[in-house]
Structure 1
């Protein structure tokens, strides 16, 4: 994996201090990365979007899969989705999937 070119960031240590309360540019890049990953996962969960990962060798994506009816009942018997009200959800649950 190619490293992020920290030296190319046009920010001062005092600006880093203001944003992430740390003077190191590596910490700023780390916080930006974590925020972006969180936004992608939130978007996949809340909007049922599919995120296609920028991989070169093979295609890969993160998406939400809906599980319903008998598959939901089987998973619930195995203690999955115990906090989901099965009547309100109409015997439906969702899980995040990764396909490559």
Structure 2
């Protein structure tokens, strides 16, 4: 698997990143949102856990501990799609969209 940085002039941490599998035609596994991105419900970098709970109260919410720290996962009902909000303590520091493991910040390997 590899990341495609959609803005080669920017710092990778702040750019839109796509995780693509190198096999089977390059399937999209997930997206890491740029630092300026906000969800349709207004959640973005700097948002609190309480703001996520309030914005996504109608969706299943799972808090999990991952390599990067606490991650709040919001699952789209009836799918395997998740929004993952990574925290540095009090506020969101990163947003990922994809399957459970990708959105939770786990390191993914191709095999």
TM-score, normalised by the number of residues in structure 2: 0.27
Structure with the larger helix share:
1
Greater gyration radius: 1
